[in-house]
Chain A
């Protein structure tokens, strides 16, 4: 599994954010998680070396077949694709 960057905060379960460093909606999602003060891990997939990038993309596609970003995975089961603010707030309340 790819190395993710951990952000400390309130423990609301295992929260993973797959994002792109260039994407506006990914940035907004990350800001939202920060403002909610929850603990989460994230990775900028576009910055990964080739092999890790391919492995991580396969991992993203398992949760979100479109392989699009941001993909937020909560406890390995709940998946929120895109900056859906209300949905994210509710899931992490």
Chain B
């Protein structure tokens, strides 16, 4: 399929890494191992295709600045887990779904549409006068006050460009 074949070992590594990160961060992967495998393959394909593991269930444009919010784990994972018991892809699920107590609900797309995203990007940020800028990790909500965001989020390991100016 158009050069998208990913070696089995690479997908296995991806699954282990996802599992390890989920466990250490207090998250849960979908109990359906075959489904997780398929999504891990999708993440590997996107990493190879675009240079970053964008969401396998969303269409990336291939420019990091525009796809940043859908790099897995995406900006929308936590609110979707909270409301629907699963992230958009159902790679991550709530504890009760992980234990098989409840089924995940279909997750409607929370990401703004293409035209909405353009208007959000051009909206001027609001800043108030504080001794240092405050940065917010868009993945996990971690806040820190310093001149620039950290290279990686100390809580969820998201990269520097996933931070936004909060104050």
Contact = CB atoms under 8 A, between A and B. Distances in A.
Contacts of A47: 1-2, 4
A22 B45 contact: yes
Interface in A35-93: 45-47, 57, 61, 65-69, 81-84
A8 interface: no
B89 A69 contact: no
Contacts of B41: 22
B59 A24 contact: no
B42 A22 contact: yes
A82 B58 CA distance: 12
B149 to A, nearest CB: 29
A34 interface: no
Nearest to A18: B59
Interface stretch (B13-21, B105-113, B119-127, B140-148): B105-113
B57 A22 contact: yes
B105 to A, nearest CB: 10
Interface string B34-69: 010011011101100000000011111000000000
A4 interface: no
B113 A24 contact: no
Nearest to A23: B57
Nearest to A25: B57
A24 B114 contact: no
A-B CB proximity, top 4 nearest:
A22-B42, A22-B56, A23-B57, A68-B109
Interface of A: 20-27, 45-47, 57, 61, 65-69, 81-84
11 contacts: A23-B42, A24-B38, A24-B42, A24-B56, A45-B59, A57-B59, A66-B108, A67-B114, A69-B57, A81-B109, A84-B106
